[in-house]
Amino acid sequence: MTTFNMVHTSDLHLGSLFSATPEVAEQRRQEQLDTLKQILDLCTANKADALLIAGDMFDSMRVESEFLANVKRLISHYTVRVFITPGQNDPATPDSCYNTEWPPNVHIFRGGMEKVEIPEKNTCVWGAGFTRSQCEESLLAGFNPINSRINVLMLYGELVEDTAAGGSCNPISMEAISSCGADYVALGSSHTYEYYENNELIYCYSGMPSACGFDEPGEKGVLCGYAAKGFARMTFTPLDGRLYSKEKIDISGCAEPEQFADRIVKVLRDRYGENFSYNLYDISLIGTPFEGVIAPIPDISALLSESSIFYARLTDMTSPTVDFELLMNDGTLKGAFVRKLFEKKQSDSRGSEKYMRALLYGLSAFEGNVNIDENY
């Protein structure tokens, strides 16, 4: 039986600005090249006939020249065929990075539906790419599988129940994709892995292989497997990359910066194991510190950095021990401030947490514990 071995990925967003973590943005951009190398090494290990990159390989249609040269140089060191469909973030416009010279093992689908025949594998790889950032019409049009061949289709787009509802990201109806006649469809645009199977056709979003921000939590990876005539087998394969995680950590009872830092490290180690320091964390501190103590964020951050945590951003969401009833009966400006904030808190249940934070910071200001930043 002839099979076509594949590694399927998408949404690498190479060259991302990493705006959520600007302090480590340059390092993260370089690490994206390590992720691409992992994927290419996986192709070699799996004896893949092709690497399918189904859209948004880059974060933008314009890529810094040295970075682009490094990407091309890396790919050129491998013999695996690389197929690329430009996506919504990196369309193949006349001045895009895709309209430059690429290594000979790379094929880019720069427009409407086209096929590349691989006779020795009895396979046709089909694809269509974005030529601008908006694509209202389905790029599936023009796909006409050859019945005697294995047909692998690559598309960046959004699966929808009804294309009549419109859309700007290559809307593809579930019915159309299910009956298209391909043996495997490699999809891009979703940043999470999604698997679909209908009438023996498998079509999948590989999800992104490495996260770019805290809105993309969880394990990341690629799909590895093969297609044959009439069926396909693809398996999600995790990659060795940094996780982005939002955490809430209770620091009740802590008083000294070292106690806060030790509590945070212990919780992260318990949740993520001994390699916890490799990840990026957006941490909300909750609970009630020792009476009268306000979480010393700069000191805690410095200690976490000394403990080799790659990145940790801290937000103070703690609730200091405060006798609000006593303060509300205070006849000074402080009492008036507390009464006013409690009125707003009670009249706006959805903004309750916001008013509580304002109340706590305001009380800290009354005690002279808050420095005003004119650029805030």
Tell me phi and psi for residue 49, to 5 degrees: -80, -25
Superfamily of domain 4-238, CATH level 4: Metallo-dependent phosphatases (3.60.21.10)
Mean pLDDT (whole number) for 282-299: 88
Name the token pair of 158.
């959004």
Q: What is the pLDDT of residue 131?
A: 94
Prediction pTM value: 0.85
Residues facing residue 50 across a β-bridge: 6, 81
181-192 pLDDT, tens digit per residue, is: 999 999 999 999
Mean pLDDT (whole number) for 90-113: 95
Q: What is the pLDDT of residue 322?
A: 66
Mean pLDDT (whole number) for 35-60: 97
307-359 pLDDT, tens digit per residue, is: 899 999 999 988 766 667 777 888 888 888 888 888 887 888 777 767 777 87
**What value does the CA radius of gyration of the chain take, rounded to a whole number of Å?**
26
- Please report, for the chain, the start and end positions of each structural domain, with discontinuous segments joined by +: 4-238, 244-366
Give the residue from 77, 74, 96 showing the smallest Cα distance to 85: 96
215-227 pLDDT, tens digit per residue, is: 999 999 999 999 9
Q: Does the pLDDT at position 196 exceed 80?
A: yes
